[in-house]
Amino acid sequence: MRWWIGVCLVAWASAAHVPHVEKDAIVHVAQHEPWRIQAPSHDVDGHVELCTDQQPHTQRHRGWIDPAEHGGSMLDVVGNGFREPINVIISGASDRRVLSDQGLLDYARSLGFSFECLHIHLGGLQYANLGDGQGHVPQLFEYRSIASPRSPGAWIGACWESVAGGNHFRVWRQNGTLADTGAWFLAVSKEEDVTRHHTISPNGYDIGRDLLVEKATQGSAFRGTSWTAHVEWKQGLLHPGRQGINHNISIDGRVAILTVHQL
């Protein structure tokens, strides 16, 4: 085994005690992340202690994992072969309700978004590999901006945005066997109106992200439920620039990590 990649200590002793790692966890790691241990997966027991410091980018304790750790990417795949940035993460450390499908929809409504007009989706799906063992999967949801959480769009869908343009985001969940964090990964962007074929606005990826984060951190409410959000900005998950980015629009490379709590 390539012990130099992920092993801090492998100690063999017939009566050794492992204070921090249970046997089941060790076996799981041995089977699914073998680079972290030296012993073969069929011969791992309570005499092995692991150290995760050798993987400094692991963010499991923060409720999400960098997709690149397991061959994924923070860029989704568009039908034309170009990419769009996944620039917001709702951490798995957020309130459990927000991490459910209905909870995310209600939270999106509180931020001034809703499902597509009459639940009708036009255009192709985009795909993302979140490094959780599922490979490239299609977007789960697409939410578009509405006038306000009290507008009819909260119930019939974002019909006006489908004409006038505005902010919108696509959603994936990180919940595969390699990274079951439950975090939501969002590709947010601001787009033009229908006369401009809903192309992304100039600097629309960064602008769309910033608009969503601004609303989230101000606090929001929908149907008597209120939420607050804390943001942490991360560099290094996306490369700044425009290389390979859809519509040849440059991005600043920042990703907003939101931790959302229900009040």
Return the H-helix or E-strand segment holding 103.
helix 101-110
Please calculate the CA angle 34-234-89 and round it to the nearest 5 degrees.
75
pLDDT for 59: 55
* Local confidence band at 195 (pLDDT 50, 70, 90 cut-offs): confident
pLDDT band at 7 (very low <50, low <70, confident <90, very high): very low
Q: What are the tens digits of pLDDT across the range 247-260?
A: 999 999 999 999 99
Rounded to a whole number of angstroms, the CA Rg of the chain reads 21
Contact status, residue 93 vs residue 102, Cβ threshold 8 Å: no
* Averaged confidence pLDDT in the chain: 82
Which residue has tokens 């939420």?
A: 227
Residue 261: enclosing H or E segment and its boundaries?
A: strand 255-262
Instruction: Give the count of beta carbons closer than 10 Å to the beta carbon of residue 67.
Output: 23
Nearest CA to 167 out of 125, 250, 237, 111 is that of: 111
Confidence of residue 87 (pLDDT cuts 50, 70, 90): very high
Q: Where are the domains of the chain?
A: 3-54, 60-262
Whether the Cβ atoms of residue 249 and residue 200 lie closer than 8 Å to each other: yes
Residues 138-155 pLDDT 10s: 999 999 999 889 888 898
Of 53-57, 164-168, 206-210, which has the strongest mean pLDDT? 206-210
pTM of this structure:
0.77
pLDDT (0 to 100) of residue 55: 41
